[in-house]
Amino acid sequence: MIHHADFAVWGTQHFNAYLLAQVCLRKLDHAPGVIDQNDHANCPETFRLSAALQLFGSVDEWLDLIRVVDVKPIADRAGVTLDEALTLARHVVQHNLPKWTGTTTANPPADEKTREFEAILEEWDRVLDLSPVWATFWEDVKRIFGNSPTDDIPDWPDKLRDWAGLYHLDPAGRVGEVPLFVFRYAVGELPRLKGERERRPLAVPTVLDGRLSEAFCPSPKGQPTGHVVGLGADDDALRREVLHPALPFRAKNLFRAGIVRRPVPVDLTAARRKHLDNLRYTISEDYFTYAEETDRDLWPTS
């Protein structure tokens, strides 16, 4: 505690002294396809302990994950405008539809615009490090989407942002709206653990695995996954999240492209209270008092 006098100092130590040294590792060439837990230069501390991966590592490899990313750093790196990136992305979304709708199991042959989009993603991948990737589950968000973009609910980008607890995708903090890409991919596409044919390095998110966020709450110890803090206080669902090693996203993984227009709530007190209620009363009776001490300020005094 002598080195962490207040929250600001703790945050600085957490980011500068820990994250940069142990988690946000520099990528020398490309992300490894096999994770060696003893290779500390290429394996973030998140995945080094086998105990952290035992709960969910043997999940069905056909299970789909969802990753939502901000378009701006991708477009900036590639030297294209947001409109240009979104136009190409929407073409690729249509190009990929047969795979997502089950018409075919193969990836459609790339056309010229798909190759242009692939080049943008490859340029973006060059500047990424080996930080763990935060992902949620297709099963937990799929009712937002239809068989094609025209069948999606009209405000799906706002809804997905809220359901996934992506507090940083906030138009109020920028000049304008927030374009996003949604990547969908199977667990079987993830890197595997060295010496193991099937098990994948999937970890439960903790406060030490990324930058501090107002919309993050660790799940109770012993849970196989984390659970996102939904940004809406009227949300009764618990949606799962996991961490997996860096993965080079490609055009074949693009599922949707859209624009977030609704600001996030200024005060997350109600959303956090709802989240803790969901954890306490949905998971197990063993968690009725979970976070009662650390989050006492969220509860009424009378």
Summarised one tens digit per residue, pLDDT across range 128-183 is 999 999 999 999 999 999 999 999 999 999 999 999 999 999 999 887 899 999 99
Give start and end residues of each alpha helix (H) in 31-190.
71-78, 82-100, 112-125, 138-141, 156-163
- The highest-confidence range among 104-108, 190-194, 217-221, by mean pLDDT, is 190-194
Residue range 1-8: mean pLDDT, rounded: 68
Task: Transcribe 64-83 into DSSP letters.
Answer: EEEEEEEHHHHHHHHT--HH
Structure tokens at 34: 């096999």
Q: Are 143 and 217 in contact, with CB atoms under 8 Å apart? A: no
**Could you tell me which of 52, 57, 47, 54 has the C-alpha nearest to residue 22?**
47
CB atoms within 10 A of CB 26: 9
**Could you tell me which of 223, 247, 296, 277 has the C-alpha nearest to residue 69?**
247
pLDDT bucket at 301, cuts 50 / 70 / 90: very low
Of residues 17 and 27, which shows the higher confidence score?
27
DSSP secondary structure code for residue 220 in this structure? P
Residue range 182-206: mean pLDDT, rounded: 91
Q: Which residues pair with 70 in a beta bridge?
A: 180
pTM (two decimals): 0.92
Report the C-alpha gap between 294 and 302 in whole angstroms. Answer: 18
pLDDT bucket at 302, cuts 50 / 70 / 90: very low
CB atoms within 10 A of CB 39: 13
Say what the pLDDT of residue 131 is: 96
Residue range 51-77: mean pLDDT, rounded: 88
Those residues whose C-beta lies under 8 Å from the C-beta of residue 208, and which sit 6 or more positions away, are: 14, 18, 19, 23
Percent of the chain with pLDDT over 70: 93
Report the C-alpha gap between 285 and 295 in whole angstroms. Answer: 19
DSSP secondary structure code for residue 138 in this structure? H
Distance from the Cα of residue 174 to its chain's centroid: 21
Orientation of helix 82-100 relative to helix 112-125, angle to 10°:
110
Of residues 20 and 11, which shows the higher confidence score?
20
